[in-house]
Structure 1
Amino acid sequence: MVTDDLLICGAGPAGRGLAHRALAHGLSVTIVDPHPWRRWTATYAAWADELPQWVAPEAVGAMVDRPIAWAQRRIELDRRYLVFDTARLQDSLDVTGARLRQDRVTEIAPAARYRHDGLDLPSVRLASGPVLAAGRVIDARGVARSPRLAEQTAFGVIVDRARLPEPETYFMDWRADNGAETDAPRSFLYAVPLDDERVLLEETCLAGLPALDQRTLHDRLTHRLRCRGIALTGTEPVERVRFPVHGGRPNASTFGAAGAFTHPATGYSVATSLRMADAVVAGESLWPGTARAVHLLRQAGLRALLALPPADLPLFFEAFFALPVESQRAYLSGRDDLRGTAAAMMSLFAALPWRLRRTLATAAALPIRRPPDASRAALASAGDPE
């Protein structure tokens, strides 16, 4: 039986990025995925300071020095933001030399010297029947949807830049011109350049139980753009987004969204996956005590976000983006920065009105529960589908 150093389940950005770095370090690699050669179509973005130096420059489609957040007022964010060129990102994560197996993993078994099949290595069972062993097996297949998990949903269109009356990049635009009722679950506009000629305009909702549906987001986006003098023709390329913003297992055998890398306040996981790939290849622990504590704090933050009344979400994000950029960076990107994350959350809590503090404190202490109907869902939003 031929065994490789590393067997990766999943060929999305996390799995392919990990394979790319493993090959660069001289490891032998097998990738198993139902569609290992399928082209990616989602839009991925990141804060520029999150990326490792080895990411190819051509993988970046657009760079924005000071993106805009608009909650109750316009705020320039003092942090460089980038949007990947999806096709070039995929191509830059070259996996030439890896064994690509088109199949579905049905079971992952840990190493056990006295197993009945005689294998003393971790292994996977494929839907077609064979069992493959490797020195290490990493699950990078993402997180399956579940009614128990909050989801991010979004509907977007891609338009020529020349059609926009204003050239600004909106990381988050909460202005109330999307036609939604005041007490309805909120969503916001995410408007970012893809390259020098095209812009993605996306009505986005980060976390919902239940999530806003595509028709609602489509109608809100159409209404919002019409109010801003942008009439859609119906021929624009479309992007639809729906995936869980929490879940996954934080351990040594999972990676990417499957390894709980998704940030529940943004939905981002690609940059973290790329940044942590070399550590996985080196066999380092990705989950020291500080990282696990930050993970728990972020989950508490998601519970608090879901509990906010829809009308108060702009106020919440107004307070967040008024924090010093170091505090914002600690909460959004410091996956093992326990002190910085806790300090950012405490500063945000102190900046909010008393009527919201009780709601947030109560929600943060309780598990996430699916509400009995959509009218009780509190939704928040942010940009990048992972």
Structure 2
Amino acid sequence: MDFDALVVGAGPAGMIIAAALAEQGVNVGSLTASPLRQVWPNTYGIWRDELEALGLTDLLGHCWDNCVSYFGKGEVNHGRAYGLFDKVKLQNHLLAQCEAGGVTWQQGEATQIEHDHKHSIVTTGAGESIRVRVVIDASGHKPMFIQRPDQGAVAFQTAYGIVGHFSAPPVEPQQFVLQDFRSEHLSVTERATEPPTFLYAMDFGDDVYFVEETSLAMAPPVSFELLERRLHQRLAARGVQVTAVQEVERCIFPMTLPLPDLHQPVVAFGGAASMVHPASGYMVGALLRRGPGLAAAIATALQDAQAGPAEIARKAWQELWNRDRLRKYYLYRFGLEKLMRFDQGLLNQHFDTFFSLPKNQWSGFLADTLSTPELVGVMMRLFAIAPNSLRWGLLQMPGQESNLLWQSVAS
């Protein structure tokens, strides 16, 4: 089988880039280890205005206008609507785009890749060979073919959540809670010796709620056992018990993956390309925004009949991780290193300060839609209005912060 491009993986990243390439007129093959229509396991959230800009709000399964958080100063009303994707709608929407563009799907596991000056040859577990001009690896955080440098321990965000019925509402009616860092349900020893965690929760209606205890990035990651215990402690302190469980979610993903080798003859997209937002853990919005640009760069490179995998991949990497995006990546990583070292008190001060910024600034920061100068401006403004104790914490650089800051300048 011969294709112009082969996409490895059929999660959100794989389907988004396959659909975008097909729209460019590229002859696309896609290889998926799982059944094509198997429903994706994770929950995907996004701010509604990000989808409004793309004309895709009909892909939301739930949406909340009452969006709040709880930090050191009490309730913070974000004044911004938040939604959850209907995973089946999103999946079917992307599959329809792929079908319209003639994407060829094949179930199988990619096991080996070889390159010559004109083609890449992917071998499957069944021994079949697929010859293509460029491979896009969208197989997730542990990709099949993407190489990246070893830069030490990777920090992970973990979460343990329950969808179900409760003896009393765990959140207010029609409310979405982005982050609840209140910790009165923990003992003094637990607060002093265990990492901070927060509640992420929402009312689904019909007496169904989703509650999830979540950690910020930590290395090693916070265990599911600790998160489960914390969640039940939090609920018990409010006089709430779980009466029926519909679904349990255990989620873990890396927040500090190093960037891939940007000189390799294979392209990456999604988690394989380290596209998880280091400050928020979100990615689907960025995939939807950045997929068309990457697809256009690949389609343009393919127009040169003499270009081989290395040249096509080089132009794709230049689009995906241009200098502005590299600078922002290191600035976000710099900020995350700070948060990973903060205790409960400093985290509360930080988030109270962050969400007191103008909405266009904090929303652009979380969506990764700011330019580098705008991002620097937001970080400087946060420092300027922060209390002195938080400023002192931001000035400390005991770990990788100075190196990350230097890389943001040198990129």
- In which range does the TM-score fall when normalised by the shorter chain? 0.7 to 0.9
SS in 2 for 1:265: coil
Q: Which runs of 4+ in 1 moved over 6 A?
A: none
Contact 1:330 1:337 in 2 (8 A): no
SS in 1 for 2:172: coil
Q: How does 1:2-17 map to 2 (within 5 A)?
A: 2-17=1-16
Deviation at 1:169, TM superposition (A): 1.0
Residue 226 (structure 2) aligns with: 216
Higher helix share: 2
The structure 1 residue matched to 2:138, chosen from 121, 130, 140, is 140
Deviation at 1:316, TM superposition (A): 1.3
1:47 aligns with 2:47: yes
Instruction: Name structure 1 gaps, 5 residues minimum.
Output: 114-119, 369-386
For these two proteins, the number of residue pairs brought into alignment is: 360
Per-residue CA deviation, residues 146-198 of structure 1 (Å, 9 max, x unaligned), is 97111011111112599526222101111114435222211001013457764
Letter in 1 for 2:89: R
Contact 2:110 2:124 in 1 (8 A): yes
Instruction: Name structure 2 gaps, 5 residues minimum.
Output: 144-149, 299-318, 405-411
Q: How does 1:1-386 map to 2 (within 5 A)?
A: 2-37=1-36, 38-51=38-51, 56-72=56-72, 73-94=74-95, 95-96=98-99, 97-109=102-114, 112-113=116-117, 120-144=118-142, 148-160=153-165, 163-164=168-169, 166-167=172-173, 168-179=175-186, 181-183=190-192, 184-194=194-204, 198-233=208-243, 235-247=245-257, 249=259, 251=262, 253-283=267-297, 285-335=319-369, 337-361=371-395, 362=397, 363=399, 365-366=401-402
Q: Which moved more, 1:45-54 or 1:234-243?
A: 45-54
Contact 1:293 1:338 in 2 (8 A): yes
What is the TM-score of this pair, normalised by structure 1?
A: 0.84
Per-residue CA deviation, residues 189-248 of structure 1 (Å, 9 max, x unaligned), is 101345776432100112011121111111111111222232113634211111111215
Deviation at 1:78, TM superposition (A): 2.7
Using the aligned pairs only, state the percent identity.
30
SS in 1 for 2:243: coil
| CA distance in 2: counterparts of 1:108 and 1:248, whole angstroms | 22
What is the TM-score of this pair, normalised by structure 2?
A: 0.79
| CA distance in 2: counterparts of 1:84 and 1:195, whole angstroms | 16
Deviation at 1:5, TM superposition (A): 2.5
The CA RMSD measured in Å over matched residues stands at 2.7
Q: Which moved more, 1:259-268 or 1:329-338?
A: 329-338
Letter in 2 for 1:182: R
Q: Which moved more, 1:55-64 or 1:292-301?
A: 55-64
SS in 1 for 2:320: coil
Residue 77 to residue 53, structure 1, CA distance change in 2 (3 Å): closer
Residue 104 to residue 177, structure 1, CA distance change in 2 (3 Å): farther
Deviation at 1:315, TM superposition (A): 1.5
| CA distance in 2: counterparts of 1:234 and 1:218, whole angstroms | 16
Contact 1:46 1:83 in 2 (8 A): yes
Residue 310 (structure 2) aligns with: none
Letter in 1 for 2:125: A
| CA distance in 2: counterparts of 1:55 and 1:8, whole angstroms | 25
| CA distance in 2: counterparts of 1:55 and 1:6, whole angstroms | 27
| CA distance in 2: counterparts of 1:169 and 1:44, whole angstroms | 14
| CA distance in 1: counterparts of 2:114 and 2:259, whole angstroms | 15
